Structure 1
Amino acid sequence: MDTRITLPNLELAYFSYVITDDKYNIQEYDKNFHHFVNDEGCSKNKKLSILFNNLRYEYFGEFYMVENEEGSQYYIMQRKIKINNSEMYLFFLSDYSLYEELEYQIEYLNRQRYINNEMLNKLEDGIYITDEKGKTLFVNDAFVNLSGLRREELIGETVYGLRKDEILPNSCCARVIETQGPVSTINNYYQGQKCLVSGSPIYDEKGDLKRTIAVIRDVSELDMLMKSLTKEETLSLTFKKKLDSVGDKFDNEDAVFSNNRAVASLYKKAKRLAKVDSTILILGETGVGKDFLATYIHGISNRNKKGNIIKINCGAIPEHLIESELFGYEEGAFTGAQRGGKKGLFEEAGGGTIFLDEIGDMPYTLQVKLLNALNDRKFYRIGGSKAIGFNARIIAATNADLKTLVDEKKFRADLYYRLNVVTLRIPALRERQEDLLPLAQTFLEYYNNKHRRNCFFSPECMENFLVYTWPGNIRELKNIVERLVLISDDSCIEAKLFRDQLSQDGQEIDISSKIMSNNENLSLKQQLELHEKAIIESALETKKTLKEAAKKLGIDISTLVRKKQKYNI
């Protein structure tokens, strides 16, 4: 898009003078005078009062407005002068319309500059612009966020001065000016992120350097992931699809992956069961993904085309309402029943799937009606006498020990055996540590996209993940990853932030001692490096700047920067 502005021709006269005698007869004038009178044949001794209306003969020293014969308005000022002892009048003419045009053009350019700045501020990549001498002219919001620097300490300063003061120790724009060509480099901003910087020169139409522009992209997350992949061979992404809503339909039966043999075998078995209509009982602790597995089975089965999956939490519906919710009611069945009656969830399921979650919490009195419905494949609405058939598949799930509930007379034995045709037990997250980090990375990627963040886990944070027992299983992992993404001040999610969140949740754990016990087999050098890293991290957390942290540690700031890079802090 061409944004060049055509300015008025500045060679066009906007100022002129004319000299008359005391009778206002023109004696002398400059070449610009014709611009005001539009009369190329204007000659001397012609009266000025004929060419301009509204002349004020006794008004001296100030500009006032007059009109020429064509009605164009200009400003004029007159003074008395003496030439060869003769009294004369000197008139100055000015065309302010050109000034107004210039003011309009300047205002337009200022508006364009504001809009251009706003567009650059919308970019996720950082932008740094200097003039040909390295003076900083503009930085966008993304650069401020990535570098941790303030505009006030950059704008108007040269990149050479900023490099000398170690504010920009590896200035890409300075190298662009020095080499007169494009430059790419990696910058590790002291108070910001590790970034890829690509700089380019900008020349005018004569080939002279006028600007440099650098584009800054955050590569700290990519760098961390690459190192993590090298360290942990199991860091393959799992559960690539359908993370946000377990109600989504699966269009790919191979969409679930696991590095744990038991879980891989479980989903392989689930794929086989999806092709038949047997009743399935899913067992597992709270948060292991029973709802997800039920949806997965429905999604890859033929039931997916016949109807929806209807999910019923047997522990969440009040006992006096659960029968009407499951089987519906006829008009007038009870006080407050809606006109025409209401379909129950069994009827709504059609040929799809009914998922009875927390089946162990179903009231004992209703269990016999559920058993009859499963056996007869039909049911009755409350207040109804007509049997309604249903063809939906039944999948039940619980975190309770149904066998114990049967022994305690809290769950009917006949219903237990009716549901327990095929059992799928999902292991707890602590039993499948091969999947923990891949799941955490998958949730991190999802919530980074959802909340427009660019976070990544520090190695210590991932180590803490592996030590923690995760009593809430995958649900707890998913929730805490989202919380860490939302509250983290920096892109790097540190182990301390994770431990703080566990403490707020009332989880009393001693991760540090467990990690130290895991490090007992390390060499002396490795243990000393771990201890040194912990000391440096502590200093950086308590001090606002690198200079203060280096002073506290008793080392030079350059040494601190090298160690910070060495330990990926």
Structure 2
Amino acid sequence: MRHTEQWLENIPLPVVVTNHDGVIRRYNFRFAQLFAKKADGINIQELFDQWTSYEHNIISAQLEGKPYALNCNECEDDGQASLFYVVNDGAYIQKVQQKIHELSQVNQELDAIIEDSFDVIYITDGEGNTLKVNSAIETCTGFSKENFIEKNVRTLVKDGYLKDSVTLKVLEQKQTVTILTVNNAGKERLSTGKPIFNEEGEIVRVVTNARNFSELDEVYQELRKALELNNYYKKELEKLKSKNRRDPDAIIKSADMLEIFDLGERISEVDATVLVLGETGVGKDVLAKHIHRSGRRYENGKFVKINCGAIPHDLLESELFGYEAGAFTGAKRTGKQGMFELANNGTLFLDEVGDLPLTLQVKLLRVLQEKSIQRVGGTKMIDVDVRLIAATNRNLKQMVKEGEFREDLFYRLNVIPIHIPPLRERKEDILPLVYHFLHTLNTKYLMKKEFDRGLKEFFYNYNWPGNVRELSNLVERLILMATEDVVTVKHLPAEYGQQEYSEQEYGQPIHDQKEYDLKGEYEKEMTLKEAKEIAERKVLIAAVQRYGSTYEIAHKLRTSQTTIVRKLKQYKLHANQ
């Protein structure tokens, strides 16, 4: 591999080099993964469904409905003037830009609130450097607020701008400090400085609120508002931080799943019981972990999971509630904590709660009502603070009607019901999950396996009765069983028969030869290319009339939507996008 190509492979984003006319000269592997065929010698614009240029060398493009942003710069490649494109996820960039815009608006609102306050509001960093101060400082000190911005409070005291500084006392004592001072006009002023700590316990901000002592009552009211505002921003920052704590196995792209996980974030700070419903293998435990990670319980307690259907009923009670020493034969001398105690201040996830026996349903109901448990063989009640998330693939309402599940427990669990759709109903998640599993397993087994386009189409179109768990299992089987580096449909296990797949997923082959009778067209003398174009155009005309959308045409003709769009433009045909 040449040095230039090796350099391209070292870039962690899809990149491509073209000449000034846009014809592709070289690209890296990540760029190749976006397309189903080689891109050498093709104009880069032909690879995308849409291509719109903007200022600052930014291009907005779409590929099969997904947005991309391309950053274009001039470069020299093998002595020739060339263009260098870096391809970014357009949806991600839009979200980042939206988040930056939202944070900018919040900052503007914060500045306006600070400036409109009658009190002096003074904000420094953890070193005492002034970050923000409102115009009220001018009334108290007689100096313009510009004299304070970006100045350290130690210097301001030394130079006489401030007679005393509550900020310095906060930094020294590392706690909230209130002092009574006298300003240059001889008026008493009550100043309260409050430290803001980071996760390591270091002071990152000091917020000081100051007002004339004669207006103490008003100070209290304004300070309360400032603290509420501070708590609001703290909660907003916690929400942003929670997104960085998202489970790396939570691969979600579909609108339904994004909405479900957003709901999980919204309810993460409340302790209402959640009931997660869905088929086996859809990822109920992943959502439960996400809810836990997004809230305050992530910092204070553990996420504890127990599968109610995987433990014998006679052992399940002691697993849930623990037991005292000598409670039964074989019990530990020291006794044992149950899952509720282990999850104290955290989250307990009861998977397959529909398999819980009726005797334990009564005890679980009591725990939800009284917030306390009693160990097996014990006599005292133990208080527990646990957020309960339950999950099942069974119809609990039907079980209630049949007397297999307590109605009162059902309504206790069903406070916030969340249904996760099966994988076949959120196909946008299938290929991202495949890529995630493929990368993870290649890393785990030190392999470099790839899936060809036909196999990816199988993944996309298969019904997946076992959902994400089945998909993960099949990807691992293919990686381990296939001897070639490129895995294809022929490597599928027997139970995923290729004939069944092609007939059920793609429909029967076209047998109506009248619709494709080209005999008359070929009686005149022509080149092979001309004959091919005639046949291709007739097939596309029939497909447009039959199917309508470019996506469905590509599906039925077993090619990419990009190719269909390009061919329709070539033959001046029109179909829905």
TM-score by length of 2: 0.48
Q: Larger Cα Rg: Structure 1 or Structure 2?
A: 1
Structure with greater helix percent: 2
TM-score by length of 1: 0.49
